[in-house]
Structure 1
Amino acid sequence: MLPPRFKESARPDTDGAVRLTDTDAALARLSAVHKHYLTDPFIRHFVPRAHLQPPRPPLINIGTYVRSEGIDKLVEAWFSFTEQEGTQCQVVSLGAGSDTRFWRISTGPRKDLLRAYFEIDFAEITTKKAMAIRKSKELSVVLGKPEDIKIANGGTSLHAPKYHLLAGDLRQPPSDLLALLEPHLSPMYPTLLLFECVLVYISPQASSALIQGFVDFFERGAAVQGGHGVLGGIVYEMYGLEDSFGKVMKSNLMARNVSLPGADPYPTQASLSTRFLQHGFTIAKALTLRDIRRSYVDPAEQERISHLEMLDEIEELELVLGHYAITWGVKLPASATIKADWATWDLKPYSASRDEED
């Protein structure tokens, strides 16, 4: 047998390969911004030599746009319900990577509704993000006064009045992760969990334990404090990978030492809502990016995007978008008085929203 040290060094660095997927996502968003699909003045600060990065293919730009459009609308609706509730809300982004949502919210019209924003990721990711934040005046000024911004844990964490960047492994016991959050996270406020292309990379057991950990945290808060905020979640990831296209996708990722164990329990669109329903969520829904592109994007916006780049591979685009989905769910407290109708949290088809306006 080989010595243990040699065997260990011979193993592929699967975590490193997963971390590189954040680079892919950041470059895709940067490309979509440069091509005018999206507006995001902050993403360039998280991409080295952003002005030199080549554009991504139209298929990737459109997919990035549809993903952003769907998630942004759900988050916007969450903040609308928070306003109706007459309170503030919290956002916990798990596997946040280079995401810029905190800055987009904090410079937008809903900024006063945000109580706290948390980001958790590998230490290698959070260290680079903390450095980028401190290096950029445009990013750091949004956090608050310089004396209120603290680097912690050897440079892997950063704390500001409303923003907390934390190093953690989502596969560790949920109690350990919640211990990182607990000094600043309160179960008394509506709290939205964001999982953007992260749970698919960990085992179903680990992702289930993670969600249940937050459910338990909020239920303990109800028992101790006499009530708790609404708990919501948004998941974006691949699903239905047992057909020929899905098998090619998995094979291509395996060539990069990236596996997708989290996709196994979700072979169909109908199965996606069980992600939350199995943990006692009040409602859960799911839409593919293909659904969203077809029915949930303003036709005027569709027309604008169609003129940005030539796209010949419509069938391929439809096939790809059909294997990515956004799932969302909300868990309402059993005893607390709720003002807003959180159970109606949803994406509305464009035709339905037009009918309501008329």
Structure 2
Amino acid sequence: MFGSSLARADYSQDASGPIRQTDSDAAIARLSAVKLGYLQDPFIKFLVQRPHLQPPRPPLINVGTYVRSEAIDRLVNGWLELSAAEGKKCQVVSMGAGSDTRFWRINTGPRKDDLAVYIEFDLMENTTKKTMAIRKSKELSEQLENVTLEHGGTTLHSTKYHLFPADLRIPPTESIAPLLTSPSLEGPILSPNLPTLLLFECVLVYIAPEASQALIQWFVDYFASSSVLGAVVYEMFGLNDPFGVVMVENLKVRGVSLPGAEPYPTFESLPRRFTRHGFTTSEALTLREIRKTLISREELQRISSLEMLDEVEELDLVLAHYAVTWGLKLPSGQNPPSKWIEWGLKPLVDNDHPDSDE
């Protein structure tokens, strides 16, 4: 683990510019998928600059965005449902949340009452941009109650939603912990006694392995003996083959490196992200597998009708280099409740749909 002074010296905000740009790319990709009918998200347009001028993304990107979203939505919704079945509200903590709209989608959906608190962390430039967008948009702001801004508009608090500026590359004892126990708040906003889900969507791959391990371990320690903890990671892996090498080189041209991918060179290595921290279970699926086993034939036919996709082999190649990994950590000393062990992505039964239909 590196020292905090080194972290602050090496990680200037200017150096983070290319990483912040990846959030803009993802938001535009989601906007494209929404405009074309792949996804439903009435809020993303408020978090993209000049949304009406953004051109559509290629079909390959739209399909990939759809598969990624479908998988993570299922994991989050499943977590909310299991928490409700246990008679508890749950907490969601999104790391490097960027322009994500998940809080608003949950808060306007059937599971809104199952959510106790939703917390987002990101670099200061991104949180400033997001607070400005929230204040500007009636559709976003009307979903928040008792809103207060702090630290020059970089921090936002409301009854259920909190947005914090934090550099996740700095040790969590200095970057995360002080924010959650801020003197301006009435006690810690993250309860150690409620089921809590951590989201890492294309975040850990950009930071050093030591930093990501320290971050996960901090949450493991926080919930060690109190409540169930879940975590979801979405990112690229297997970058040692020819396709992966090209991906890495293309990102280097943009000033983006992927130090967090090095410990996970194969699909089989992905669950170690969580098992090394004592998680009860951990599993993974590539986006390629998710598309082939979790999406119904009818839904795939609907998707295929939206755009012509000729490069099915290229799509499979790209999707095979991205994965969703999830882990479940039960409180120490407790036997696994069967309902929590069932949480995860479950392939559909007899989901036979030939690629020729695509």
Quote the offset at 1:178 in angstroms.
2.1
Which residue of 1 is the match for residue 222 of structure 2?
217
Hey, what does 2:306 align to over in structure 1? 308
Query: Is the contact made by 2:119 and 2:163 (CA closer than 8 Å) also made in structure 1?
Result: yes
Match of 2:36 in 1: 35
Instruction: Tell me: CA distance 1:12–1:78, structure 2 relative to 1, closer, same or farther (3 Å).
Output: closer
Task: Give the superposition deviation at 1:338.
Answer: 7.3
Aligned-pair CA distance for 1:352:
6.4
Q: Gaps spanning 5+ residues in structure 2: where? A: 1-8, 182-187, 353-358
**Superposed, which structure 2 residues align to 1:243-282 within 5 Å?**
243-282=241-280
Q: Mean Cα displacement is larger for which, 273-282 or 334-343?
A: 334-343
Q: Is the 8 A contact 1:85 1:340 kept in 2?
A: no
In the alignment, which of 175, 187, 207 is matched to residue 192 of structure 2?
187
For 1:179 and 1:351, how far apart are their aligned partners in 2? 46
Distance in 1 (CA, whole Å) between partners of 2:317 and 2:334 is 44
Shift of 1:179: 2.1
1:198 aligns with one of 200, 203, 220: 203
In 2, distance between residues paired with 1:352 and 1:107? 33
Using a 3 Å threshold, how does the CA distance of structure 1 residues 334 and 352 change in structure 2: closer, same or farther? farther
Pick aligned residue for 2:152 from 154, 168, 176: 154
- Mapped to 2, the partners of 1:123 and 1:159 lie a distance apart of 15
Q: Does the CA-based 8 Å contact 2:281-2:328 persist in structure 1?
A: yes
CA deviation profile, 1:296-341 (whole Å, cap 9, x unmatched): 0011100000010001111110000000000000100024687662
Q: CA deviation at 1:216?
A: 1.1
Partner of 2:254: helix, strand, or coil?
Answer: coil
Query: What whole-Å deviation, never above 9, does each CA across 1:216-239 have from its counterpart, x for those lacking one?
Result: 1122xx3xxxxx111100000000
CA distance in 1, matches of 2:341, 2:110: 24
- CA distance in 1: counterparts of 2:250 and 2:177, whole angstroms: 34
2:304 alignment partner AA: S
* Aligned residue in 2 for 1:5: none
How far the C-alpha of 1:154 sits from its partner, in A, is: 1.1
- Deviation at residue 51 of structure 1 after TM alignment: 1.0
Q: Does 1:127 align with 2:156?
A: no
* Matched letter for residue 313 of structure 1: E
Is 1:24 equivalent to 2:25 in the alignment?
yes
Change (3 A) 1:12 1:121: closer
1:265–1:153: structure 2 CA closer, same or farther, 3 Å change rule?
same
Q: Which moved more, 1:135-144 or 1:35-44?
A: 135-144
Count of residues paired in the alignment: 336
Quote the Cα distance in structure 2 between the aligned partners of 1:14 and 1:292.
34
Q: In the alignment, is the contact (CA less than 8 A) between 2:296 and 2:351 conserved in 1?
A: no
In 2, Cα distance between the equivalents of 1:336 and 1:229?
10
2:297, 2:351 within 8 Å by CA — same for their partners in 1? no
C-alpha contact 1:13 1:257 (8 A) present in aligned 2: no
Q: What SS class does the counterpart of residue 158 from structure 1 fall into?
A: strand
Identical aligned pairs, as a percentage?
A: 61
Match of 1:333 in 2: 331
RMSD of Structure 2 on Structure 1 (CA): 1.8
Q: Which structure 1 residue ranges, 5 or more long, are not aligned?
A: 1-7, 223-227
2:213 maps to a residue whose letter is S
- Paired position in structure 2 for 1:77: 78
Q: Secondary structure of the equivalent of 1:54?
A: coil
Task: Give the distance between the partners of 2:261 and 2:332, measured in 1 at CA.
Answer: 31
**Aligned partners of 2:13 and 2:96: how far apart in 1?**
21
Q: Which amino acid aligns with 2:42?
A: P
Instruction: Render the CA deviation track for 1:196-229: whole Å, top value 9, x for unaligned.
Output: 000000011100010001111122xx3xxxxx11
Aligned AA (2:284): A
Report the alpha carbon displacement of residue 353 of structure 1 after superposing the two structures with TM. 9.1
